[in-house]
Amino acid sequence: MFIELQNVTKIYGKDEYATKALSQVSLQIERGEFISIMGPSGSGKSTLLNIIGCMDVPTEGVYRLEGEDVTRLNDRQLSDIRNKKVSFIFQQFALMTNFTVFENVELPLLKRNMSKKERREKVEYYLNKLGIFHLRQKNVSKLSGGQKQRVAIARAMVAETNIVLADEPTGSLDRQNGEKVMELLQQMNEEGKCIIVITHDEKIASYANRMIYLSDGCIQLDKGKG
């Protein structure tokens, strides 16, 4: 199994301040799936995404990624997974505002054993693929929302990970740009990437082949198309 969660619970705080964000969540995801996660605010969507992406660890339960028990790994090993196996796309883009487009997209490659020439060629390939090569030397603070999200997607693509996690990737965009972003994610999925998207928008969720609905930290619905 590619991604497997068994009875995963996540609790923040202690004693009377404890908040249970996830409760006994069990989930299996195959390689190459396209999944949307929906649910009201506070339902545990972002917590689930962060655990899958090794940004957080369960309080209880087991998370296996490609058969490896992630809950037993140390911080360095988790960081290595985030760098080589998982890419994130965020609603607010999470770009380095004082960096150029090129520098932002290059960031995931800096921790890898690659020459400057290799990095440049890979970054330029994905900038071309997303139609933003002409913006490569522009500071991201000067870009529109749609352009910034394309930079964020290019950064996720250049890492060439098998898992792409997107937290409300269209939330800051108008409908037209939002649909363009989803078409790009759909293309990545067709190329074999496992795409997991958090969204409040049913239209956006419809791009996925499987929809998971969370409420109060529990999976209430898990259904595929057809």
Distances (CA, A) of 187 to 32, 88, 192, 214: 12, 16, 9, 26
- CATH T-level assignment (fold) for domain 32-56+75-224: Rossmann fold (3.40.50)
Q: So what's the pLDDT on residue 174?
A: 84
| Secondary structure (3-state) at 82 | helix
Q: Give me the tens of pLDDT residue by residue for the chain, a chain 226 residues long.
A: 899 999 999 999 988 888 999 999 999 999 999 999 999 999 999 999 999 999 999 999 999 999 999 999 999 999 889 888 999 988 778 899 899 999 999 999 998 888 999 999 999 999 998 889 999 999 999 999 889 988 999 999 899 899 999 998 888 888 888 888 898 899 999 999 999 999 988 989 999 999 999 999 999 999 986 5
Distances (CA, A) of 202 to 15, 39, 151, 214: 37, 11, 25, 14
| Secondary structure (3-state) at 90 | strand
Buried b (16+ CB within 10 A) or exposed e, 151-182: bbbbbbbbbebbbbbbbbbbbbbeeebbebbb
Dist. CA 38–CA 185, nearest whole Å: 17
